[in-house]
Amino acid sequence: MEDLSQDFDVLAERADHCGALWAARIFGRLVSAKSDIPRKWPGTVDEARRLVETFAGRSPHPNRERLAVIVQFAATWTWADSLLLLGGATAHAQAS
C-alpha cells in the first residue's frame, strides 16, 4: 500500500507542474497575441482529465480524478497569479 501512496505523490507532483505549465502557456499565448485575457481560468476539468492521461495514462492508479483536480487547481492558481503579475506590470508601465 505504501508503494501506491508514493506513486500518487509522484503523480500529484507531476499534476501540479502540468497544471501550472498549462496555464502559463495559455496565458503567454494570449498576451503574445494581445488578446483579451479572461479574469477566470478558461480551462475545464475535462481538459485536465485529458492532460492526466498524458502522464498517468498507462498507470493503473485509481486516483486519476484527484489528479485532474490537482491539475485544474494548479492551473487556476497560476492563472490568478499571472493576472496579478500582469496587472502590476501594466500599472508600472503606465506610471513610467
3-6 LR contacts (CB < 8 Å, sep 24+): 4/61
Does residue 1 carry a pLDDT above 80? Answer: no
Tell me the pLDDT tens digit for each residue of 37-84: 999 999 999 999 999 999 987 766 778 999 999 999 999 999 999 999
Q: What is the pLDDT of residue 91?
A: 41
Q: What is the pLDDT of residue 62?
A: 79
Arithmetic mean of pLDDT over the chain? 87
Total residue length of the chain: 96
Per DSSP, helices labelled H in 1-96 are 2-32, 45-56, 64-95
Percent share of the chain, pLDDT over 70: 83
Cβ proximity of 79 and 48 under 8 Å: no
How far is 68 from 12, CA to CA, in rounded Å?
9
Q: Specify the pTM.
A: 0.84
